[in-house]
Structure 1
Amino acid sequence: MSDDMLYSEPRNGTETSEEKAKREDAKEWANRLKFVKEKKKKEREIAQEQQQKAKEKKLAGDFVTGQTVVATHDISVRGKIAVKKGWEGVVQGPSLNHPQERLNVLFKERRDKKTLSINVLPFEVRHPKDADD
Structure 2
Amino acid sequence: MARNEVRPIGVPGGNPSGLRGGFARDKLAHRRWRRAFGPPGKGDSDVGSLLDEGRSHTCGELRATDIGSAVVLMGWARTSRDHGGLIFIDLRDRFGITQVVADPSYSEEAHRLANRVRSEWVLALRGKVIARPEGMANPNLETGEIE
TM value normalised by structure 2 = 0.23
TM-score (norm 1): 0.24
Write 1 or 2 for the structure with the bigger share of strand: 2
Is the radius of gyration larger for structure 1 or structure 2?
1
- The structure carrying a bigger helix percent of its residues is 1
Where relative contact order (Cα < 8 A, 6+ residues apart) is larger, the structure is 2
